[in-house]
A and B are shown apart, each in its own frame.
Chain A
Amino acid sequence: MSTHNKRIIAASLATATCSLLGTSVVAPVQAQEDPGWDFNTALLYYGESDGRVQDVSLNVLARRAFVDDRFLTLGLAVDTLTGATPSGALAYDGPQTFTRPSGLATYTTPANQTPLDDSFLDTRVALTAGWQQPFARLYSFNVGLSASKEYDYLHLGANLGLSRDFNKRNTTLSLGVAFSQDDLEPVGGAPLPLSAMLDVGDLSNRSGDQSKDVTDLVLGLTQVINRDLLVQLNYSFSKSTGYLNDPYKFLSVVDGSTGDPISRTPAPGDSGPLHEYRFESRPDERSKHSVYGQAKYNMSGKVLDLSYRYMSDDWDIDSHTLEARYRWPFGDRRYLEPHVRYYTQSAAEFYRIGLVDGATPPRFASSDYRLGDFDAMTVGLKYGWKTRSDNDMSIRLEYYTQDGSAPSDQIIGNQAGRVLYPDLDAIIAQFSYRF
Chain B
Amino acid sequence: MQSLRSSAIDSEVRQSVRPGATKRDPRLGLAAGHFRGSFNAMGSPCELLLETADEVLAQELLQIVATEAWRVEDKFSRYRSDNVVARINQSNGRPLTVDDETANLLEFAATLYQLSDGRFDITSGVLRKAWLFDGSDRVPDADSIAQIMGTVGWHRVSWRRPEIQLLPGMQIDFGGIGKEYAVDRAAGLVSRRTNCPCLVNFGGDLVAVGGLRHPDGWQVGVETPGSNASSAQKLILLKHGALATSGDSRRFLLKDGIRYGHILDPMSGWPVECAPRSVTVAADSCTQAGMFATLAMLCGKGAEEFLEDQGVRFWCLR
Please tell me the number of chain A residues within 8 Å of chain B, measured between CB atoms: 41
Interface segment, one of A23-31, A235-243, A340-348: A23-31
**Contact B241–A34 (Cβ < 8 Å):** no
**Contact B8–A134 (Cβ < 8 Å):** yes
Q: Give A21 to B111 CA distance when docked, in angstroms.
A: 14
**Contact B310–A8 (Cβ < 8 Å):** yes
Q: Give A1 to B184 CA distance when docked, in angstroms.
A: 25
Our pick among B221, B240, B305 for the contact of A29 (Cβ within 8 Å) is B240
Chain A residues in 8 Å Cβ range of B242 = 29
**Nearest neighbor of A11 in chain B, beta-carbon distance:** B310
**Cβ distance B56 to chain A, nearest Cβ, rounded Å:** 15
Interface segment, one of B61-69, B87-95, B282-290: B282-290
Q: Which of A17, A23, A28, A169 has the most CB of B within 10 A?
A: A17
Our pick among B107, B235, B284, B295 for the contact of A33 (Cβ within 8 Å) is B235
**Cβ distance B87 to chain A, nearest Cβ, rounded Å:** 21
**Contact A137–B31 (Cβ < 8 Å):** yes
Main secondary structure of the interface of B (DSSP, over half): mixed
Q: Give A36 to B12 CA distance when docked, in angstroms.
A: 29
**B270-285 Cβ-contact flags toward A at 8 Å (1 or 0):** 0000000000001111
Chain B residues in 8 Å Cβ range of A65 = 219, 235
Chain A residues in 8 Å Cβ range of B214 = 69
**Contact B288–A1 (Cβ < 8 Å):** no
Chain A residues in 8 Å Cβ range of B53 = 168-169
Is B33 part of the binding interface, using a Cβ–Cβ cutoff of 8 Å? yes
Chain B residues in 8 Å Cβ range of A34 = 216, 219, 234-237
Chain A residues in 8 Å Cβ range of B216 = 34
Q: Give A418 to B235 CA distance when docked, in angstroms.
A: 65
Is B185 part of the binding interface, using a Cβ–Cβ cutoff of 8 Å? yes
Is A136 part of the binding interface, using a Cβ–Cβ cutoff of 8 Å? yes
Is A408 part of the binding interface, using a Cβ–Cβ cutoff of 8 Å? no
Chain A residues in 8 Å Cβ range of B300 = 3
Q: Give A17 to B219 CA distance when docked, in angstroms.
A: 26
**Nearest neighbor of B29 in chain A, beta-carbon distance:** A137
**Contact B243–A31 (Cβ < 8 Å):** yes
**Contact B302–A3 (Cβ < 8 Å):** yes
**Nearest neighbor of A168 in chain B, beta-carbon distance:** B53
Please tell me the number of chain B residues within 8 Å of chain A, measured between CB atoms: 65
Is A391 part of the binding interface, using a Cβ–Cβ cutoff of 8 Å? no
**Nearest neighbor of B111 in chain A, beta-carbon distance:** A16
**Contact A20–B284 (Cβ < 8 Å):** no
**Contact A12–B115 (Cβ < 8 Å):** yes
**Cβ distance B109 to chain A, nearest Cβ, rounded Å:** 10
**Cβ distance A131 to chain B, nearest Cβ, rounded Å:** 14
**Contact A14–B5 (Cβ < 8 Å):** no
Given A13-B115, A20-B287, verify A69-B236 contact (CB < 8 Å): no
Given A1-B115, A136-B11, verify A20-B108 contact (CB < 8 Å): yes
**Nearest neighbor of B114 in chain A, beta-carbon distance:** A12
> Which residues of B come within 8 Å of A, CB atoms?
4-5, 7-9, 11-12, 30-34, 53, 104-105, 107-108, 111-112, 115-117, 119, 181, 184-185, 188, 213-214, 216-217, 219, 221, 234-243, 282-285, 287-288, 291-292, 295, 298-302, 305-306, 309-313, 315
List 19 contacting pairs A-B, 8 Å CB cutoff, sorted by A.
Answer: A8-B309, A8-B310, A8-B311, A9-B115, A16-B111, A17-B108, A25-B285, A27-B284, A30-B238, A31-B243, A33-B234, A34-B235, A34-B236, A65-B219, A68-B5, A135-B11, A137-B34, A168-B53, A169-B213
Which 9 A-B pairs give the minimum distances between C-beta atoms? A29-B241, A3-B302, A34-B235, A30-B239, A31-B282, A25-B284, A137-B30, A134-B32, A67-B4
